[in-house]
Amino acid sequence: MKFSIDHRDSGSSARAGIITTDHGVIPTPVFMPVGTVGSVKGISQTELKEAIDAKIILGNSYHLFLRPGIKILNRAGGHHKFMSWDRPILTDSGGYQVFSLSNNRKVTEEGYIFRSHIDGSKHIFTPESVVDIQRNIGSDITMALDECTPYPCDYDYAQKSMGLTHRWLERGIKHFATTQPIYDHTQSFFPIVQGSVYTDLRKQSAETISSYDQEGNAIGGLSVGEPEELMYEMCDVVTQILPQDKPRYLMGVGTPANILESIALGVDMFDCVMPTRNGRNGMLFTSNGIINIKNEKWKDDFSAIDETGTSGVGKQYSKAYLRHLINAKEMLGAQIASIHNLSFYMCLMNEAREKIANNTFADWKNRMVPKLKTRL
């Protein structure tokens, strides 16, 4: 993997660059659609490429480990072949599931022991085993095993948890360095900064993570319920420490406004379930603001979902029609909403890149953010 920065915005810390992987190039800042269990929910690979033009998508080690299982992925020749996706894939290690499936797991020094949410079977993930799993998946970018702390989280726990994440990181890196890719492409390994909402912990974590000099670095444990300002504050602290010449990935973020604010702080990569999940649930992101398409007021609004054409489907279908589909629980409704939202995110990222290249990002961002937050 290679990363080069083409432009730096003069009015903020935003950067525009290119990540080069064996499966293709990824212009940054980039938004990565989430395809947890082997699909970006509701969207075919063809649409993902042609309608949305996703440059890279996510997969999840925990979910793929449970289903279809590592053996199948290995026999398929890796996840790319299995799901017929020839562009880059990034896999999360399963650290987030330690957080979100918290009643079914136990964190120990060795790793985390958990029960499958599918059949209750018992498993253990260690920093080493998640490297092996991601080797078998064959993701272009693999993630370290971390503990994503909840919010609120007291200082003591945050500190201890961060220490564990750092020790896990050291083991993970060692294992990654002493193992080889299974398929014929290279893989990268990203460490993850933790430290909850404590500035000193975040600094310490960012310094520790930076010292390993990996090909990219991630910021985890944010957007877990803390106030937005606190998230930006932590993000700011961390991006000032992480190496300039490596991509920074803010995990799980976020709203369109969150993303623009974070780009301004020097973040290059994002992923979030919001465009797909919230889309399925009737929330649409448009160039004029946020629409809850289920609301009665759209029932006879026959205008396009997004007239400015941030997506093909947004221009093609009317609000009234999409409202009908979603309210009638027709699958197509969820698909249209997901495609539209992802296309909107993609469009926003493309525009952000252009603004960075023109040195007009900061002003543009400040104009866009209130608009993006508007509820229509």
Is there binding between residue 104 and RNA (CB under 7 A)? Answer: yes
Is there binding between residue 103 and RNA (CB under 7 A)? Answer: yes
Query: CB-wise, 8 or 277, nearer to RNA?
Result: 277
Say whether 271 is catalytic: yes
Of positions 52, 56, 272, 356, contacts RNA by CB under 7 A = 272
**Which residues 176-235 are close enough to bind RNA by CB under 7 A?**
192, 218, 220-221, 223-224, 228
Question: Which residue is associated with the tokens 């390994």?
Answer: 189
Question: What is the smallest separation between the CB atom of 248 and RNA, expressed in angstroms?
Answer: 14
In three-state secondary structure terms, 361 is helix
Torsion of CA 134, 138, 142, 148, to 10 degrees: -40
Is there binding between residue 127 and RNA (CB under 7 A)? Answer: no
In three-state secondary structure terms, 159 is helix
Say whether 200 is catalytic: no
Of positions 13, 139, 208, 276, contacts RNA by CB under 7 A = 276
Is there binding between residue 292 and RNA (CB under 7 A)? Answer: yes
Is there binding between residue 167 and RNA (CB under 7 A)? Answer: no
Question: What is the smallest separation between the CB atom of 247 and RNA, expressed in angstroms?
Answer: 15
Specify whether the CB–CB gap between 162 and 205 falls below 8 A: yes
How far apart, in Å, are the Cα atoms of 82 and each of 53, 73, 87, 152, 181? 20, 7, 13, 39, 17
Question: What is the smallest separation between the CB atom of 183 and RNA, expressed in angstroms?
Answer: 22
Is there binding between residue 334 and RNA (CB under 7 A)? Answer: yes
Residue 5 β-bridge partners: 17
Distance between CA 144 and CA 251 in Å, rounded?
12
Mind giving me the DSSP string for 274-310?
HHHHHHHTTEEEETTEEEETTSGGGTT--SBSSTT-S
Distance between CA 343 and CA 338 in Å, rounded?
8
Is there binding between residue 277 and RNA (CB under 7 A)? Answer: yes
Q: Pick the catalytic residue: 9, 92, 140, 268?
A: 92
Query: CB-wise, 13 or 93, nearer to RNA?
Result: 93
Is there binding between residue 273 and RNA (CB under 7 A)? Answer: yes
From the list 16-24, 88-96, 155-163, 302-310, the region that binds RNA by CB under 7 A is 88-96
Q: Which residues are marked as active site?
A: 92, 271
